[in-house]
Amino acid sequence: MSSAPPRTGTFNHVQLVEIDSDQAGQRIDNFLRTFLKGAPKTLIYRLLRKGEIRVNKKRTKPDYKLQANDQIRIAPIRLPEKGEPAPVSQGLLALLERSVIFESDALLIINKPSGIAVHGGSGVTLGLIEAVRKLRPQARFLELGHRIDRDTSGCIMIAKKRSMLRFLHEALRQRTVYKSYQALVVGRWESQVKRVDAPLLRDEHRSGERTVRVDPAGKASMTDFAVIRRFGDTATLIEARPKTGRTHQIRVHTQYCKHPIVGDVKYTSDEMNTKFRQLGFKRLMLHAAGLRLTLPDGETLQVRAPLDDSLVTLMDKL
CA–CA separation, 79 and 8 (whole Å):
6
Distance of CA 249 to the CA centre of its chain: 15
Mark whether 270 is an active-site residue: no
Which of the residues 20, 22, 29, 149 is marked catalytic? 149
Active-site residues, by number, are 149
